A and B are shown apart, each in its own frame.
Chain A
Amino acid sequence: MVVKVSLRNVSNFALRDVSVDFLPGEASIVVGPNGSGKTTLLKVIAGLAPHNGDVYFNENRVNSLPAYKRNVLYVPQKSALFMHMKVWDNVAFCLKVRKIDNDAAAEKVRWIMRRLSIEHLSSRYPSQLSGGEAKRVAIARALVCNGNPLLLDEMESNLDYNIRVSISEEVLRLARELGLTLVMVTHDLDWAFRKADKIVYLWSGRISYSGPPGLLDPLSIEPEALAWLGSVLRAEVFINDDFSYALINGFKVPLNQVFANEAMSASKVYISSRDALVDEHGKIEGKVLRKVIIHGVERLIVDIGDGVIVAKNTSMSINIGDKVRIKVLNAVPLKT
Chain B
Amino acid sequence: MYPAYLFPPFSRVASSFMDPKYINIVLDNLGLTLVRAFLGFVIGTITGILLGLFFVGLRLSDYIQPIATILFVIPSVAWIPLLILWVGLDSFKLPITAAFMCCFPPILYGMINASRTIDQDQVEVAFTLGASPWEVLRRIVLPVSLLKLFPIIKTEIIMVWKTTIVVEMVALSSGLGHLLLMYSLVIDVRHVLSTIMVFSLVMISIIELVDSLEKKVVTNWLGEHGGKGFA
Cα of A74 to Cα of B132 in the assembled complex, Å:
16
Cα of A80 to Cα of B230 in the assembled complex, Å:
11
- Decide yes or no whether B20 CB sits under 8 A from chain A: no
Contacts of B139 in A (CB 8 A): 82, 93, 97
- Decide yes or no whether A46 CB sits under 8 A from chain B: yes
Contacts of A80 in B (CB 8 A): 119, 121-122, 124-125
Given A67-B124, A84-B144, A145 and B223 contact (CB-CB distance below 8 Å) = no
Given A83-B144, A84-B143, A84-B147, A74 and B125 contact (CB-CB distance below 8 Å) = yes
Min distance, Cβ A49 to any Cβ of chain B, angstroms: 10
Interface string of B188-231 (1 = CB under 8 A from A): 00000000000000000000000000000000011101011111
Interface hits, A151-192 → B, CB 8 Å? none
Contacts of A208 in B (CB 8 A): none
20 inter-chain pairs at a CB distance below 8 angstroms, sorted by A residue, are: A43-B124, A67-B128, A68-B127, A68-B128, A68-B130, A68-B135, A69-B130, A72-B128, A74-B128, A80-B121, A81-B122, A82-B122, A82-B139, A84-B147, A84-B221, A84-B230, A93-B126, A94-B130, A97-B130, A138-B125
A73 engages B128 (CB within 8 Å): yes
- Decide yes or no whether A76 CB sits under 8 A from chain B: yes
Number of interface residues of B (CB under 8 A): 28
Interface string of A57-75 (1 = CB under 8 A from B): 0000000001111111110
- Decide yes or no whether B140 CB sits under 8 A from chain A: yes
Contacts of A142 in B (CB 8 A): 128-129
A83 engages B229 (CB within 8 Å): yes
- Decide yes or no whether A318 CB sits under 8 A from chain B: no
Most buried by B among A48, A82, A126: A82
Number of A-B contacts (CB under 8 A): 94
Q: Say which residue of B127, B128, B221, B223 sits within 8 Å of A128 (CB atoms).
A: B223
Q: What are the nearest 3 A-B pairs in CB distance?
A: A127-B229, A80-B121, A94-B129
- Decide yes or no whether B42 CB sits under 8 A from chain A: no
Contacts of A83 in B (CB 8 A): 122, 144, 222, 227, 229-231
Given A76-B121, A86-B223, A128-B223, A67 and B229 contact (CB-CB distance below 8 Å) = no
Cα of A66 to Cα of B134 in the assembled complex, Å:
13
Interface set of B (CB-CB < 8 Å, partner A): 119, 121-122, 124-133, 135, 139-140, 143-144, 147, 221-223, 225, 227-231
Contacts of A86 in B (CB 8 A): 223
Contacts of A97 in B (CB 8 A): 129-132, 135, 139
- Decide yes or no whether A56 CB sits under 8 A from chain B: no
Min distance, Cβ B176 to any Cβ of chain A, angstroms: 38
Most buried by A among B131, B133, B147: B131
Cα of A93 to Cα of B230 in the assembled complex, Å:
18
B230 engages A127 (CB within 8 Å): yes
B127 engages A127 (CB within 8 Å): no
A46 engages B128 (CB within 8 Å): yes
B127 engages A67 (CB within 8 Å): yes
Contacts of B140 in A (CB 8 A): 82
- Decide yes or no whether A8 CB sits under 8 A from chain B: no
Number of interface residues of A (CB under 8 A): 35
Given A76-B121, A80-B119, A83-B231, A48 and B128 contact (CB-CB distance below 8 Å) = yes
B121 engages A98 (CB within 8 Å): no
Given A78-B121, A80-B121, A82-B140, A125 and B225 contact (CB-CB distance below 8 Å) = yes
Interface string of A102-130 (1 = CB under 8 A from B): 00000000000000000000001111100
B130 engages A98 (CB within 8 Å): yes
A48 engages B127 (CB within 8 Å): yes
- Decide yes or no whether A141 CB sits under 8 A from chain B: yes
Cα of A138 to Cα of B129 in the assembled complex, Å:
11
Most buried by A among B119, B127, B131: B127
Contacts of B222 in A (CB 8 A): 83-84, 125, 127
Q: Say which residue of A68, A76, A82 sits within 8 Å of B132 (CB atoms).
A: A68
Contacts of B127 in A (CB 8 A): 47-48, 66-68
Contacts of A128 in B (CB 8 A): 223, 225
Contacts of A71 in B (CB 8 A): 130
User: Which chain B residue lies CB-closest to A49?
Assistant: B124
